[in-house]
């Protein structure tokens, strides 16, 4: 009784790769389903136009903080 080890190796390789591929497809589908459910029940808040001036002030504060951090890093 002769067994072809190369053929057996390819069978196991196909089985293993098929199992991993199937798992990844199921995982992607589950993540997409969870994303749909989360976005349905917990939507992201929409930004209003009334608060746009506050955003500009926040941007200026962020830029000032970054500039101060870079200056402090270069000095010390």
Does residue 67 lie in a domain region? no
d(CA 16, CA 20): 6
Does residue 73 lie in a domain region? no
Does residue 16 lie in a domain region? yes
pLDDT digits (tens, 9 = 90+) for 38-59: 999 999 888 665 555 556 668 8
- pTM for the full predicted model: 0.54
Does residue 74 lie in a domain region? no
Does residue 51 lie in a domain region? no
Does residue 27 lie in a domain region? yes
The mean pLDDT of the chain is 88
Question: According to the model, what pLDDT value does residue 44 have?
Answer: 87
Number of domains making up the chain: 1
User: Which residues span the domain enclosing 4?
Assistant: 1-44
Does residue 76 lie in a domain region? no
| Alpha-carbon separation of residue 71 from 63, 74, 75 (angstroms) | 12, 5, 6
Question: According to the model, what pLDDT value does residue 3 have?
Answer: 79
């Amino acid at each position: 009784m002769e067994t072809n080890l190369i053929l057996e190796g390819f069978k196991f390789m196909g089985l293993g790769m098929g199992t991993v591929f199937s798992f990844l497809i199921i995982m992607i589908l589950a993540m997409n389903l969870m994303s749909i459910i989360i976005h349905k029940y917990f939507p992201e808040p929409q930004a209003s136009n009334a608060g746009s001036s506050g955003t500009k002030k926040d941007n200026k504060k962020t830029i000032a903080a970054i500039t101060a951090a870079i200056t402090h890093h270069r000095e010390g």
